Structure 1
Amino acid sequence: MASIAQKSLFCWHDVEALGDLHRLRLVLENLPDEELMQQLEQRRGRGRNEYPVRAMWNSLVAGIVFQHPSIEQLRRELLRNGQLRDLCGFDPTRGSDAVPSASAYSRFLSTLRKRSIREALVRVFTSLVDQCYRELPGFGRRLGADGKGIASVARRRGKGAGDRRGEHDADWGCHEYVYQNERGEVQKSVKKWFGFTVHLLADTEYELPVAFTVSRASKHEVPVMRKLIRSLDRHRPHILKAAEVFTADRGYDDGTLIDLLWHEHRIKPVIDIRNLWKDGEETKLVAGTPNVVYDYQGTVSCVCMATGTQREMAYRGFEEKRGTLKYGCPAVHYGYECAGKASCPLASCIRIPLSTDRRVFTPLARSSYRWKREYAKRTALERIHSRLDRSFSLELHTIRGQEKLSVHLTLVFSVMSALALGRVRENQPNQMRSLVRPAA
């Protein structure tokens, strides 16, 4: 191949590298990590400072931003990229010798798992969430919840408690999904994994995390979410006070959770429902009425006294003071011709108390258009899960242990929030969810 020597005023590789480094700088500048750094430096004391605490921390953040699923990949990048070493804060006079060893990173990560340090790391995340509440209009009004299974890198439990490389926290989880195929046939798929579940509460408008917790894979999502909400009520009540709507899939269909959200915190639950009617009936009669029925999905209908025709009633809204849903006569509302109108015992409307069935009747009626619009926002959680897998490389992680995973996710969610805030502060709100695109 013939090589042509050609002068150039600049190199596009330098421009692209600068864009990537600007993206890292954007995250580092918006991470409120000074308290954490001071605690780490105090813990190190007068010990060896061959690899400074702040530089190692910045390099861990760089590993998240640049999608390195393992410490070894991060070290290889640091060894070849002098600009990255400089930005992280490593001594430029030492060159590649400034890159910490694998054992140094292992000890540093072990320090991050110490209780006081881990609590300081959590405060970094919660501080970023609080900044989102202050700076992003409407942040936290619409919350969504979902659980995501994360497999451990190990395939089974370790043999002995003294084995530091073994997996001692994970267990087996199972999710069953029931759906209809193109031919209308009911199908069931089963997903099993050995590992953990991250239970995430996020803003569905901005698609940013608000709170999370990690459990073993076998833990059911509903009791964990109830515990998380009660914890927020004790320690961060402003989150629940700001929330107006809570969306979740049918895995969270639970009367106790619905009561907790609405009756204790006045948050409207928009949770898909399971059919738990075991006797095979399709409708039930509303108490105190001779011809008004409802199905398990909360659709209220009236039955014509003359012809037996069943028509869906018109939803007229929620009356909070009464604790009732109001439905109107379809003949009056839609202009139907009703043969039994003269003999119908109903007035122009009917009120159904939420207490009739707290799972079926919720402050946002399941049959309303608004319920469908709000529930559609739940897909934000699926997009966040997708970013965790692809942009943050969780599908390629090398983590064993619940504590290690919790620390890693705290760092990941902190980077996600810091990057979003940085984009907004630099007038790039349309890129606030983009981890890969360089900052302009």
Structure 2
Amino acid sequence: MAIIPQLELFSWEEIEPLGDLERLRLVLEHLPDEALMAHLEKSRGHGRDDYPVRAMWNSMLAGIVFQHPSIESLRRELSRNGQLRSICGLRAVPSAAAYTRFLRSLMEHGSWIESMFDELVKALSEELPEFGRRLAMDSKAIASWASRPSKEKKEDGRRDLDAAYGVKTYRGTREDGSTWEKVVRWFGYKLHLVVDAQHELPVAYTVTKGSRSDVKEGHVLLDEMEKRHPEMLKKAEVLTADRGYDDSKLLSRCWDEYGIKPVIDTRRMWKDGEQTRLLPGHTNVVYDEGGAVYCYCPETGARQQMSNGGFEKDRGTLKKVCPAKAYGITCQGREQCPVAGGVRVALAVDRRIFTPIARESYKWAKEYRYRTAVERVNSRLDVSFGFERHTIRGLAKMRLRCGLALCVMLAMALGRVREKQQERMRSLVRSVS
């Protein structure tokens, strides 16, 4: 908390009944920002102190908590709200130029914001034993305030010279079997997130240009977690993601290096018309791109899907059980069938398709539903933190703004947990009664 020394007589109990300032109180009390404040004050030295560092910082946090889309919107709020100025430690409303200088200083100290984020993740991991066991990964498109690349490449503080065009393609199948496709294009950036899927809170993030590949940045996120939160990778059991992260190297890495079971949807990459492939070492067993394994009756040639028999960790194989044995169906060729006793499918046959949790199993479908946790986090960033109508230009400023928003989100959650309000942990906006 950035403590304001000159407001020692002010009591939080005086504003607690107001309710609307509770979220700001949680952030100010539980955000581990003291090291950053001390560093910024030392950097300022003996210069002018019309607007103290801690007061400016607190007002910036207030702007995020109260969903102000711009600095001017925040300044108007401070101008008419004396209580908010008092809480932040301001005697007067800072000028727009003062905020510009302060933002520039914060952008130069981006690593300190990342350190605060890491401290909050660690604190929540200590408070919540299950925090980090189920992870979900996704990226979020953030359109730039600029609508297109600028022809003028000279930096003047107004142009966005860092943004790039991004494309996301969504595909699916309708109930009647027909396929659909939706293509989303934007000019701007991507926020890449790993979240705790149970508590719907971020645990790692990066911000890139909109053109950055999800798969490539997925590896970067794992690298960052290995460097910053190795204990969480050891704790994690499952990582879910959509088909944008369908990559054999990423899937293999999750299991081989960290023991995390990847639950990542597959893209359709086989050649047109290729429905199944022969399982190596067998003459009457095939598999499809969705991971289902089928056997053919040697007598009639009828095809049946084999049942799941679990995962053998020591062998690195999935067990598949004869459908006649599993379901009690009649198979005329069972006596001479070479796979009547079942088969073992090694993950190495195709690391993209075969994973420790069988893709066609009920367990895989259940785990995959946790993927929507990251979508809800993205929605909160849009609705509760103003990314739908921001005025941000430039990659450095976007990284700062995303980092601050995620720190505020975690600080609120940590405050709720520590104050025995865990059921309100994801409550970012006060409900209107």
Kindly indicate whether residue 30 of structure 2 is the aligned counterpart of residue 30 of structure 1: yes
Tell me: CA distance 1:429–1:270, structure 2 relative to 1, closer, same or farther (3 Å).
same
Structure 2: distance between partners of 1:40 and 1:27 = 19
Instruction: Quote the residue 1:215 is aligned against.
Output: 208
Instruction: Quote the residue 1:3 is aligned against.
Output: none
Structure 2: distance between partners of 1:84 and 1:15 = 10
- 1:377 counterpart SS class: helix
Structure 2 matches for 1:341-352, cutoff 5 A? 341-352=334-345
Instruction: Quote the residue 1:80 is aligned against.
Output: 80
Q: CA deviation at 1:157?
A: 2.6
Residues 246-282 of structure 1, C-alpha deviations (whole Å, 9 max, x = no match): 1000000001111111111111110000111115121
Instruction: Quote the residue 2:387 is aligned against.
Output: 394
**1:164 aligns with one of 153, 157, 165:** 157
Kindly indicate whether residue 96 of structure 2 is the aligned counterpart of residue 110 of structure 1: no
Instruction: Quote the residue 1:94 is aligned against.
Output: none
Q: TM-score, normalised by structure 2?
A: 0.93
Q: CA deviation at 1:308?
A: 1.9
Q: CA deviation at 1:181?
A: 4.2
Instruction: Quote the residue 1:228 is aligned against.
Output: 221
- 1:371 counterpart SS class: helix
- 1:146 counterpart SS class: strand
- 1:318 counterpart SS class: strand
Aligned length: 418
Kindly indicate whether residue 151 of structure 2 is the aligned counterpart of residue 187 of structure 1: no
- The code of the aligned residue for 1:85 comes to R
Structure 2: distance between partners of 1:32 and 1:238 = 20
Structure 2: distance between partners of 1:235 and 1:394 = 26
- 1:125 counterpart SS class: helix
For structure 1, which runs of at least 5 residues remain unmatched after alignment?
Answer: 1-13, 92-97
Q: Does structure 1 retain, via aligned residues, the 8 Å contact 2:240–2:264?
A: yes
Q: Does structure 2 retain, via aligned residues, the 8 Å contact 1:23–1:438?
A: no
Q: Does structure 1 retain, via aligned residues, the 8 Å contact 2:15–2:21?
A: no
Residues 114-170 of structure 1, C-alpha deviations (whole Å, 9 max, x = no match): 1xx221121111100111111112111111110111011011233132322111101
- 2:21 counterpart SS class: helix
Query: Sequence identity, in percent?
Result: 54
Instruction: Quote the residue 2:6 is aligned against.
Output: none
Structure 1: distance between partners of 2:178 and 2:197 = 32
Q: CA deviation at 1:320?
A: 0.8
**1:340 aligns with one of 325, 333, 347:** 333
Q: CA deviation at 1:297?
A: 0.4
Instruction: Quote the residue 1:4 is aligned against.
Output: none
Structure 2: distance between partners of 1:177 and 1:44 = 49
Structure 1: distance between partners of 2:88 and 2:315 = 59
Q: CA deviation at 1:244?
A: 1.1
Structure 2: distance between partners of 1:257 and 1:343 = 40
Structure 1: distance between partners of 2:358 and 2:420 = 38
Q: Does structure 2 retain, via aligned residues, the 8 Å contact 1:157–1:168?
A: yes
- The code of the aligned residue for 1:364 comes to I
**1:247 aligns with one of 237, 240, 243:** 240
- 2:19 counterpart SS class: helix
Structure 1: distance between partners of 2:421 and 2:355 = 38
Instruction: Quote the residue 1:6 is aligned against.
Output: none
- The code of the aligned residue for 1:197 comes to K
Kindly indicate whether residue 432 of structure 2 is the aligned counterpart of residue 420 of structure 1: no
Tell me: CA distance 1:170–1:363, structure 2 relative to 1, closer, same or farther (3 Å).
same
**2:262 aligns with one of 269, 276, 279:** 269
Instruction: Quote the residue 2:398 is aligned against.
Output: 405
- 2:141 counterpart SS class: strand
Instruction: Quote the residue 2:95 is aligned against.
Output: 101
Instruction: Quote the residue 2:111 is aligned against.
Output: 119
Structure 1: distance between partners of 2:179 and 2:93 = 56
Q: CA deviation at 1:108?
A: 0.4
Instruction: Quote the residue 1:256 is aligned against.
Output: 249
Q: Does structure 1 retain, via aligned residues, the 8 Å contact 2:334–2:340?
A: no
- 2:375 counterpart SS class: helix
Structure 2: distance between partners of 1:79 and 1:333 = 72
Structure 1: distance between partners of 2:231 and 2:105 = 31
Q: CA deviation at 1:17?
A: 7.8
- 2:140 counterpart SS class: strand
Q: CA deviation at 1:238?
A: 1.7
**1:134 aligns with one of 105, 126, 131:** 126
- 1:193 counterpart SS class: strand
Structure 2: distance between partners of 1:175 and 1:426 = 40
For structure 2, which runs of at least 5 residues remain unmatched after alignment?
Answer: 1-13
Instruction: Quote the residue 1:385 is aligned against.
Output: 378
- 2:180 counterpart SS class: strand
Instruction: Quote the residue 1:175 is aligned against.
Output: 168
**1:145 aligns with one of 132, 137, 142:** 137
- The code of the aligned residue for 2:334 comes to K
Q: CA deviation at 1:182?
A: 5.5
Q: CA deviation at 1:183?
A: 4.7
Q: Does structure 2 retain, via aligned residues, the 8 Å contact 1:150–1:195?
A: yes
- The code of the aligned residue for 2:154 comes to A
Structure 2: distance between partners of 1:71 and 1:259 = 45
Q: CA deviation at 1:438?
A: 6.7
Q: Does structure 2 retain, via aligned residues, the 8 Å contact 1:19–1:438?
A: no
Instruction: Quote the residue 2:11 is aligned against.
Output: none
